[in-house]
Structure 1
Amino acid sequence: MVLSRESEEFIANLRMYLMTSGKNDHEINEIAEELRGHLEDAESRGKTVDSVTGGSPKTYLETIRNEMKTDYFGLTRLAPMFILLLIAYFITGSAIRGDLSFSLLKLVAYPAIALLSIGAYIYYFRKMSAANYSTKKELSIFIAIQIITTLSLAAVLFIDIFFFEPFYIPSRETMWVIAALGALVFIAGAIWTKTWITIILPLFLFGPDFILQFLQYNETTELIISASGLYLGMAVVVLILYWQNKKQNPHKS
């Protein structure tokens, strides 16, 4: 039976809500299929989603979430790769450019910004699932979080340059080794997560810097090319998220 647009959207929102709440994937699939059965039965009798949710989708989602156990083992299993990817994103670009250094500010601020950014994404993913935002509003939120994160990182870099002294600066050869290890982490992350985002985004972020190492350009041109790669990479990731959202929920506008 083909469900209505409203029902398909609610099933997609249920999956996203439970996933961002740290629930087990297998149990999420079971709950989603059970919900689909209830919705098919309701629609066959001329009823709507409200007949299943009791008129409050948010309360319905919260009730299901509270009845399910949090998959702490699954979250712990993802932690090592998650940490490696964070480290790789922060140091690979600098290693390629040859300006990698370690200071107390970077060691504290970069992980804090990363965790806050990820926390913001998870929070809004869950909130959007319960509130059923439009795709345009979702994209606006994603872009806003990304811009705030980028500006925060730029601010840390600026403060670090003028007010902090690095306690360790690797040799150029060591930096190339670090960059190569970062590339391996991105590839491993793509295999682990079964998505190309962990490869596509680094290509746009760090690819221009790698190419510029073998070409002669003035500093202004290098800055423009690097910045263009950054924002193009952000745009590609947003488009990928948009495409995946439309694929999972083709009726949503």
Structure 2
Amino acid sequence: MLSEEAEKFLTEFRIEMMAHGKDDEAIDDMEAELEDHLIQAEKDGKSVKDITGGSVKEYIKNISGEMPAANNIKKYITLFIVYLAGILTVPTLISGTFEWTLSNLLYYAAIIVLGPFALYAGFKKILVNYANFKTEKLDIKGYAVSFIFSFLFMGVLVGSLFLVRRYPLVTFFEPASNVNITIGFILLAVLVIGSLLMKQWFYAVLAFLLAAPEIIAKIFADGGPESENYIIISSVALFAAVIIIFSILIISSKRDAQKK
């Protein structure tokens, strides 16, 4: 029976190995080997620190010679950043409301660069402290902390967007609405086709569903993006899109669980 300290170390070890782009099979093998070492060490009266040094990152550095070759994770991170930038800008481009200002561009750059690191650090902390090592499921406190963290994260995004719109700093240029819309549709096509070519159908569907509310509002609403009719139609469509996205995720997770 592992101590709570050992279980947390193994959970963090798995997360760090996944972040390094290791294959699931390699992670399972190395995690099982480390678990055996920790079980034996605790039987011998030794601590986790005696075996690992206490730091997951330092431990991984020490065993780097034994680690199998990593996947090309840098390529996937770069593609993810490009994709993230796309799905953030496509809806506002299609609506014709995208603002080409310094503060707006800095806002999106901050989300692309800092967002993934903030999410990774936050959810890593939650998993290490509130997830069961064997079942990899969160306890009640974990779900509560996840909700609070997600709420605060979204609050920062929304609050920052309000500040960005209030203080544009420098306006580079103001293209006509139809120019923004054309750019939006071209970028959407690139995202969808690129995802399909890489056999990432979920990301293709995600990009389309997030842009769909603006497309639907453009077709059926009377008035521009600021009109009440447009806002209602796009909001309802966005709500429906979110439900579809979550439904796909739930169905996919259940299928993966059945396969395992």
TM-score (ref. length: structure 1): 0.66
Residue 91 of structure 1 deviates from its aligned partner by 1.6
Match of 1:25 among 19, 22, 27: 22
Deviations 1:26-46 (A, max 9, x none): 4x632422444676x89xxxx
CA distance in 2 between partners of 1:204 and 1:76 (Å): 27
Residue 119 of structure 1 deviates from its aligned partner by 1.3
Where structure 2 has 5 or more consecutive residues not aligned to the other structure, the ranges are 132-137
**Which amino acid is the alignment partner of residue 226 of structure 1?**
S
Identify which range, 101-110 or 144-153, moves more after superposition.
144-153
1:4-153 equivalences under 5 Å are 14-20=13-19, 23-26=20-23, 29-36=25-32, 56=48, 59=54, 61-62=56-57, 64-69=59-64, 74-133=72-131, 134=138, 136-153=140-157
Residue 242 of structure 1 deviates from its aligned partner by 9.9
RMSD over equivalenced CA pairs, Å: 4.6
Contact 1:12 1:248 in 2 (8 A): no
Residue 68 of structure 1 deviates from its aligned partner by 4.8
Q: Does 1:185 align with 2:191?
A: yes
Residue 120 of structure 1 deviates from its aligned partner by 1.9
CA distance in 1 between partners of 2:142 and 2:245 (Å): 14
CA distance in 2 between partners of 1:67 and 1:107 (Å): 41
Contact 2:210 2:241 in 1 (8 A): yes
CA distance in 2 between partners of 1:241 and 1:10 (Å): 29
Q: Does 1:207 align with 2:212?
A: yes
Deviations 1:101-131 (A, max 9, x none): 2101011122213433311221133323433
Deviations 1:55-74 (A, max 9, x none): 64994855643335498983
CA distance in 2 between partners of 1:63 and 1:242 (Å): 38
Identify which range, 181-190 or 138-147, moves more after superposition.
138-147
Percent of paired sites with the same residue: 16
Contact 1:92 1:179 in 2 (8 A): yes
Question: Taking CA–CA contacts closer than 8 Å with sequence separation of 6 or more, which of the two structures ends up with the larger relative contact order?
Answer: 1
Contact 1:92 1:206 in 2 (8 A): yes
- The answer for the alignment partner of 1:3 in structure 2 is none
Identify which range, 201-210 or 99-108, moves more after superposition.
201-210
Residue 215 of structure 1 deviates from its aligned partner by 0.8
CA distance in 2 between partners of 1:79 and 1:29 (Å): 21
Identify which range, 224-233 or 80-89, moves more after superposition.
224-233
Contact 1:103 1:168 in 2 (8 A): yes
Identify which range, 101-110 or 69-78, moves more after superposition.
69-78
Contact 2:100 2:173 in 1 (8 A): yes
CA distance in 2 between partners of 1:115 and 1:94 (Å): 20
Residue 214 of structure 1 deviates from its aligned partner by 0.8
- The answer for the alignment partner of 2:231 in structure 1 is 223
CA distance in 2 between partners of 1:142 and 1:18 (Å): 22
Residue 209 of structure 1 deviates from its aligned partner by 1.0
